[in-house]
Structure 1
Amino acid sequence: MHLNDTPDWLSGWCLDHLGAEPADVLFGLEQISTVFGLRLTSGVDVVIKARGDDGRAGSCVAAQARLAERGFPCARPLTPVIGVGSLAVHAEVFRPGGDILQGDTPDVAVRYAEVYARVTAELADVDVTPPLPNPRWVRWDHTDPGLWPAISFLDERDQSKVPAYVTETAERARGRTLAADLPCVLSHADFEAQNLRWHGRQLWAVHDWDSLAWQPEAALVGAASGVFPRGSGLPTLAPIASTEAFLTAYQHSRGRSFTAVELEIAWAASLWPAAHNARWEALHGQPPVCGNALRTQAAERLRRANA
């Protein structure tokens, strides 16, 4: 990507809020957010993130800033969220480097669970407006009609392509999760391997703070326990033994045991992102990576969820 491929507003925005214009583009990514790595004329490397302004970004960036101030390994925001038309934009320090910890075995699950416990503990006293609506892959609490949250670019596709077992699993998992009356907490809702970097056994960075969510702790832990193995490629679902190891290690790191209900909610919530991803695969004609894992594991996970 070159500078002439970037949006018209970007150069002036950098000058106004960072004191220098872009001199070079280090990288550009476009997923849910558009992300630019820039080298400014001042010689400083920064990351600019722009996403549709749905009201979530301000809280997410404020929480990220609090953690960075405390020395948590994440990129430090350089600006608050600033509106640019329909976009919510902020800048943060460029924090490159580190490796992805690959694998889905129980020992790998324990390492991720220990980090997730640290993230949740750090966020426990961060006072921000809850970043709602929650990310769609953990938005089982939506109030839209039907099973899935209303997402037009998915809803307009042929829903008959979604296997019945995906829909049934999602219905049962959602029903069990919503039946629990548990308080909500703030934590990371896209806790995939691709969003963490390591130097050996040392955690170097946790990325994607746009994906904070406001859900019951056990539910967020359960979701993380299922998605953590994704280092690249399509989303997947951890083996049941690895989810179990994740949940056990998380409770140990947090210094408290989940109640029987919380454990059930964790198992139920572990299914919702996988069902969301299996639906996505079916609607887009992708290989059923999550779909196959869900087909194999759903019955046992639902049994543990009492769903």
Structure 2
Amino acid sequence: MSPRALAVDPGRLAQWCLEHLGSPPAGEIFTSGYLSAVIGLRLADGREVVVKVRPDSPRIAACVEVQRRMSQAGYPCPQPLTGAVPLGCDVATAEAYVPGGATLPSSDHAATAFADAFAWLIRLAPRPAEVSTLDPAPSWAAWNHGGDGLWPCPEGRDVNLNEVAGAEWIDDAGRRARDRLRAGESEAVIGHCDWLAGNLRWSGDELLVVHDWDSMTADSEAVLVGFASALYSTVSADELATVEDTERFLAAYCHARGREFSAGELEQSWAAGVWTRAYDAKYQHTVGQPITSLSESEARDRLRRAGAGSRRP
């Protein structure tokens, strides 16, 4: 059960392209999307672009600004062609189309490749004070949300994860991870909170492009690295990092940044990984999907590394 995809009127989209890109569409390359409608277009002037349409939010303008700065700094991301511009009741942005690339680098170098790419992103990203608000964080990264209950509201779904009983081990893992995250405070940086293999493309072991710049958020470096180290893949885009994969990513990231995390920062990273995967597991349980994002035994293993323990031995 996925959120209902946005329906985009072709005539309205054509007029938007003419007004904001200077040329109407001549053909469609692809359509996709989960929380947004993502449409690849070939314009009448020959350019190939991607238009993304989603419900309006103040954070979208900041995400586009981060993407623009990263593109100007030489980071491999699609060049933004517009700001966040209304399209009907929603908001749309356009970027250059970057086709091709493999979903994964070679398995022998996956941890280093993903970690190096993330360290490069963190190093080049603007400071949070340099852009407008990136709040609220996407739900899978909103461990410190201001709402009631343990879990934030999922985007695109009228469900309350806090009202759904069952799979108590997921709630326990999420609560313990959140409490460990709240025990540490560090300066916020900007990073990508959805470092899934599906959002990156590779040319061999070289990074070709990073997509999904709506997933920018501000949090401590250790937390953002923790999300990435738990979400990336090494052998298949459908399989999230194992505990050993996360260990390799964290070691490679610290090597790339040129200094080690403290023991407390490492625990924060492990806790962040537990929280984001527990959130996804809770969502899967709530909507009746198989729970694939986290297992009970893996949650216990990761929580031990986070210094958050578990009720069970």
Counterpart amino acid of residue 208 in structure 2: W
Moved more, 123-132 or 53-62: 123-132
Identity across aligned pairs (percent)?
A: 39
TM-score (norm 1): 0.91
Q: Structure 1: give runs of 5+ residues left out of the alignment.
A: none
Query: Could you report, residue by residue, the CA deviation over 1:177-196 in whole angstroms, capped at 9, with x for unpaired residues?
Result: 12211111100011011111
Provide the C-alpha distance between the structure 2 equivalents of 1:215 and 1:7, rounded to a whole number of angstroms: 38
State the match for 1:174 in structure 2.
Answer: 178
Aligned match for 1:164, one of 164, 168, 187: 168
Provide the C-alpha distance between the structure 2 equivalents of 1:136 and 1:5, rounded to a whole number of angstroms: 24
Residue 294 of structure 2 is aligned to residue 262 of structure 1 = no
Counterpart amino acid of residue 155 in structure 1: N
Sort the Cα spacing of 1:106 and 1:250 in 2 relative to 1 into closer, same or farther, 3 A. Answer: farther
TM-score (norm 2): 0.89
- CA-CA distance at 1:124 after TM superposition: 4.4
State the match for 2:44 in structure 1.
Answer: 41
Higher helix share: 1
- Kept in 2, the 8 Å contact 1:187–1:214? The answer is yes
- Kept in 2, the 8 Å contact 1:282–1:288? The answer is yes
Counterparts in 2 of 1:56-205, with a 5 A limit?
56-101=59-104, 107-125=109-127, 127-151=130-154, 153-155=158-160, 159-160=164-165, 162-205=166-209
Provide the C-alpha distance between the structure 2 equivalents of 1:291 and 1:45, rounded to a whole number of angstroms: 38
State the match for 1:273 in structure 2.
Answer: 276
- Kept in 2, the 8 Å contact 1:218–1:262? The answer is yes
- Kept in 2, the 8 Å contact 1:184–1:216? The answer is yes
Query: Could you report, residue by residue, the CA deviation over 1:8-52 in whole angstroms, capped at 9, with x for unpaired residues?
Result: 421111001111111111111121111110111111111101111
State the match for 2:231 in structure 1.
Answer: 227
Provide the C-alpha distance between the structure 2 equivalents of 1:99 and 1:7, rounded to a whole number of angstroms: 31
Provide the C-alpha distance between the structure 2 equivalents of 1:116 and 1:106, rounded to a whole number of angstroms: 18
- CA-CA distance at 1:7 after TM superposition: 4.1
Sort the Cα spacing of 1:124 and 1:62 in 2 relative to 1 into closer, same or farther, 3 A. Answer: closer
DSSP-derived class of the 1:289 partner: coil
* CA-atom RMSD in angstroms: 2.1
Query: Could you report, residue by residue, the CA deviation over 1:34-72 in whole angstroms, capped at 9, with x for unpaired residues?
Result: 111011111111110111112111011111111111221
Provide the C-alpha distance between the structure 1 equivalents of 2:78 and 2:93, rounded to a whole number of angstroms: 12
Provide the C-alpha distance between the structure 2 equivalents of 1:106 and 1:186, rounded to a whole number of angstroms: 29
Sort the Cα spacing of 1:283 and 1:212 in 2 relative to 1 into closer, same or farther, 3 A. Answer: same
